Structure 1
C-alpha cells in the first residue's frame, strides 16, 4: 500500500511538471505579451493616413475607369464594410496601454483616432455602434447603434479633451511617424480636425445640443488654447520612402497606367480657370503630345457618366489624358494628405461667409488656393497670376460656389472620401450624371447600406437603427440625419 501511494505521488508530480512545462513552452520569452504604445501608435497612424483610394477619385469625378463598369463611378454601389472597427480595436488597446503605463499623451492620441475612425463610419452609414462598440471583452457582442447626433456630440467632446491633455503635458512620444513627437502639431491636428467636423454639421448650425457655431468660435477666438494649422508644414501628411512597404500606394499600379483617365468635367473646370495645377495632375492627351505641358488646351478627359464603349472610343482616338505619370512611376511622389492647411483655410472661408466668424472670407479663400498650389509645387509667380484672375475672385452674390469649387480642386488624390462628402453636403461642384452609363436612376447616392453580416450577428440593433432613420429602408438614396436641414 505504501508503495502504491509513493507511485501515485510520483505520477502526479510528473504529470504536474509536464503540464507546467507544456504551458511554459507556449510562451515565447523573446516576445512581449503586451503591445507598447509606440508600436500601436505607428500602426494606427499608418492605418489612418496611408490611403489614396481610387474609388473616391471615381465617385468624386476626378478620374474615370475604362476597363470595366465601376459602381463608384456610375453610382451603383450598395453595401460598405465595418473595417474601421478593426482599426478602432487597436485604438482601444492604445487607450488601455496609456492607462496601464500612466501615459496620458497616448490617451489624447487615442481620443483623436477614435474620433477620426468613427466619423468615417457614421458618414458612410448614418447611425453606427459607438458607446457600446468594441466591448466584446465585457461580453457585449451585439452593440446598440447610437444616433448620429449623439456620435457627433461625443466626438466633439473627445477632441476637446484631447486638446486639453496635449496642452498640459510635455511627455515624450515614441512611434510617431507623422509629427515625430511634436505635441504642438498634434494639438493643431486635433483642433483643425474639430473644425472639419463642425463644418460637416453646417446643416445643424442652429442645433442647441451641438452648439456648432459656438464651438467653432471658441476655437477661433482662443488660438493659444486651440492652435490650428498655420502652414503646409503642419499638414497631417504621411510621407513615403523608396523602401519596401513604404512606397506610394499606387507606385507601379498597372491599372492606373492603362485603364484610368482624367474626368472631362474636372479637366474642363481647370482649363476654364487657367489653373496651373493641371499639368501637375494630368498627362498631355496623346493627340496633343507635341505641345508644351503649360498649354492647358492640350489636355482632355472622358466623362464619368458616359457609357463604357463611348469612353473607350474617345481613349482610342487619343483625346483623353491619363493621370500624371508621377502617380504610378514615382515611389515617393507626394505624401498621403489626410487633412491639410489648404482645407482648413477653405473651412474658415466658408465659416466667414456663413457668418460664424468675423474674419475675411476672401483672405482665407486665397490662402487656401495658395497652400494647395504650393502643395503641388506651383511657382509663386504662377500662383500670384492665378489669384489675380477675374474668374477666380469671390463673387459677393455667391461666395460659397467659388470656395467649395476651389476646395474640391485641392482634394485631387488626397483626403480620401472628403471631396464626395463635401459635395453631398453642399451640392458644389455639380457632379455630372447626364450620360447613358449612369446607374441608380442617374442619382448620386447619399450613403452606403449596412454590411450584410450585421443582419446575421446583430439583427435587432441594425434593424432598429434602420427603422428610426430611414422610412424607405436601408437604401443608398436615403437621407441620414447629418444631411437634413434643421
Structure 2
C-alpha cells in the first residue's frame, strides 16, 4: 500500500515538473493580454503632457539663471526619437482593439499616430514613417519618408478617423481626457486637422494638398466635421493631488530658485495691459510693496543676455519669478495639448488668408476670451481688454501679427512646442537674439539634428535623408520642406 502511494506521488511530482516555472506565476484571475483601455490611458498621459519649461526658455517666456541652458541660448543640437516609444504603444493599442473586437479605439489609433508623427516631422524633417514600427516584420532599418508625403498621409488619416466615428460608435474605457466620450474625440480629430493645415500655410498653392479646400470643408460642414465649441472641449490633461498625477513642476526646487520671467514676455503683457500677467508671474522682490494688480510690480530678465548679467539682475530684485501656484499647487491648472482658444486663432487666420469666409475679428476675440477665461479672469476685465486699440484686430495693419501674438500668450506653460513652431512659421512674435549670451551665431534654430544612435543603426537611410534635405549637412539651421515657400 505504501509502495503504491509513493508511485502515485512520484507521478504527480513528475507531471508538475513538465510545466515551466513561469506557468505557476500566472494569476488565473487576471488577464495577461493587453487591453486597449489600459494602453489608451498611458498613451494619453505621454502625448498630452504639454507643459514644458524648455519651451518657455526657447520661446522667450522664461529664463534660467543657474546654468547656460541650450534651449534659452539657441545652442541645442540633437533631438530624440523617444516619441517612437509612444507610437509603439499606439500600435499595441491597435492590435488589442482588433483582438478584443473594440473598433471604437481605432479612430484614436489614427489620431495618436498623426499626433506623434507630426511632432517628429516638425522636429527633424524627413523621418521613418511608412516602414517605422515594423521591427517584428524584420524591418530594423526603416527608410526615411519625405516630409511632404508624411503630411499628406497625416491629413488623409485624420479625415479617415473622423469618418470612422458616427452616432452609433461606442464610447471608450480608460479615457482620462474626455471621459470616454467618443464624440469629443471627433472634435479633437478635426481640430488637429486644422492645426496641420495651418502649419502648411506656405504651401497653400500646392495643388497636391488642396489646403484651402480641406480647410473650408471642415469649417463649413459642422455636422460631418464638428469642432471644439468652448474650453470644456479642450484636449487636456488634468492633475490631481495623487501620487503620479500631480502637476509636473509641483514642489520643483529648480522652478522656485532658477527660473524667472523673460522681460520681452513681461513687457509684451504690460504693453497690452494684459491681466494674464498676474496669473503667470509673481511680483519682483524690489516692487513687493505694490499691489499684485499693478503692472509696475513685474519685471523680467533678458533671455539673450549672459547668465551672469541675469543673475545680477535677479539679486537686485528686479526680476519676477513664475507665479508660485506653478510649484505650490499639486493640481494647479490643466495642461492643454490642443484647445478651443488655439482653434479660434487658427480660424481667424483662415479668414485673413481667404481660406474661409466669416469674421476674423470674431474668431480672434473668441480665442482671447477663451484663454482669459481659462485663467479665471472676470468678464468685465476681459471686455475692457478686448476694447483696447492695441488688442483689436486691425485689418489695415498686420492682423496675422495680432493673431499669432495672442496665440503665443495663450500658450504659456501649455501647448508643447507649438509657440516655437508658430514663431518659426510666421516670424511672430520676434524672439530677441541681440544679447551677448546667444549661441548659434545669434540665429534661432530651425530644427533639431537627428539622434546619434540613428547614425549608427540606420546610417544609410538617415544619410540619404540628410543629403536630399540639407545640402550643408545635418545642422540645426537647416530649412525643412515645411518652411520653404
Change (3 A) 1:144 1:294: same
For structure 1, the residue ranges without an aligned partner over 5 or more in a row are: 1-10
Counterpart contact for 1:61–1:263, Cα < 8 Å = yes
Query: Pairwise mapping of residues 128-207 of structure 1 onto structure 2 (< 5 A)?
Result: 128-167=127-166, 169-207=168-206
Paired position in structure 2 for 1:464: 464
CA contact (8 A) 2:35 2:100 kept: no
Aligned to 1:352: 351
Query: In the alignment, is residue 109 of structure 1 matched against residue 108 of structure 2?
Result: yes
Q: In the alignment, is residue 33 of structure 1 matched against residue 32 of structure 2?
A: yes
What do the CA deviations read for 1:145-185 (whole angstroms, capped 9, x no partner)?
11001111111111111111122533131001111111221
Give 1:25 shift.
3.4
Asked whether the equivalents of residues 261 and 321 of structure 1 are also in contact (C-alpha less than 8 Å), the reply is yes
1:94 aligns with 93
Q: Distance in 2 between matches of 1:19 and 1:356?
A: 70
Cross-structure match for 2:3 = none
What CA deviation, in whole Å up to 9, does each residue of 1:197-221 have, x standing for no partner? 1100001111111111111011011
Task: State the Cα deviation string for residues 354-385 of structure 1 (Å, max 9, x = none).
Answer: 11100111111111111110011110000000
Q: Deviations over 1:432-457 (max 9, x none)?
A: 00000000000000000000000111
Query: Which segment drifts farther, 421-430 or 51-60?
Result: 51-60
In 2, the alpha carbon distance for the partners of 1:123 and 1:294 equals 39
Per the alignment, residue 279 of structure 2 pairs with 280
Q: TM-score, normalised by structure 1?
A: 0.95
Separation in structure 1 between the aligned mates of residue 464 and residue 417 of structure 2, nearest angstrom: 27
Corresponding residue of 1:432:
432
* CA offset digits 1:261-291 (Å, max 9, x no partner): 0000000000011111110100001010111
Structure 2 CA distance for aligned equivalents of residues 21 and 352 of structure 1: 66
Deviation at 1:23, TM superposition (A): 5.5
Partner of 1:225: 224
- Counterpart check, 1:409 vs 2:409: yes
Aligned length: 475
- For 1:203-214, what aligned pairs fall within 5 Å after superposition? 203-214=202-213
Give the 3-state SS of the residue equivalent to 2:72 in structure 1.
coil
Q: Residues 61 and 266 of structure 1 are in contact (CA less than 8 Å); yes or no, is this contact kept in structure 2?
A: yes
Structure 2 vs 1, CA of residues 482 and 23 (structure 1 numbering), >3 Å: closer, same or farther? same
Q: Indicate if the aligned counterparts of 1:104 and 1:165 stay in contact, CA closer than 8 A.
A: no
Are the counterparts in 1 of residues 162 and 189 from structure 2 also a CA contact under 8 Å? yes
* CA RMSD in angstroms, aligned pairs only: 1.5
After TM superposition, the score normalised by the length of structure 2 is 0.96
1:55-75 alpha-carbon deviations (Å, 9 max, x no partner): 011000110000000000000
8 Å CA contact 2:344–2:367 kept in 1: the answer is: yes
Partner of 2:48: 49
Helix, strand or coil for the counterpart of 2:402?
A: helix
Q: Any conservation in 2 of the 1:56–1:420 contact (CA below 8 Å)?
A: yes
SS in 2 for 1:241: coil
C-alpha separation in 2, matches of 1:168 and 1:278: 42
The change in CA–CA distance for 1:131 and 1:99 in structure 2 (over 3 A counts) is: same
Contact residue 348 and residue 361 of structure 1 kept, 8 A: yes
452-461 or 42-51: bigger deviation: 42-51
Q: Give, in whole Å, the separation in 1 of the partners of 2:12 and 2:143.
A: 50
Contact 1:256 1:328 in 2 (8 A): yes
> Deviation digits for residues 105-155 of structure 1, max 9, x if unmatched?
101111100110110000000000111100011111111011001111111
Q: List aligned pairs for 1:440-455, cutoff 5 A.
A: 440-455=440-455
Contact 1:105 1:169 in 2 (8 A): no
Match of 1:291 in 2: 290
- CA shift digits 1:212-237 (9 cap, x unpaired): 11110110110010000110010011
Matches within 5 A, 1:208-357: 208-357=207-356
1:73 has 2:59 as partner? no
Q: 1:292 to 1:402 in 2, by over 3 A?
A: same
- Separation in 2, partners of 1:22, 1:432: 63
- How far apart, CA to CA, are the structure 2 residues paired with 1:79 and 1:15? 57
Please say if residues 51 and 249 of structure 1, whose CA atoms lie closer than 8 Å, have aligned partners that are also in contact: no
SS of 1:359's partner is coil
Query: Structure 2 stretches of 5 or more lacking a match?
Result: 1-9
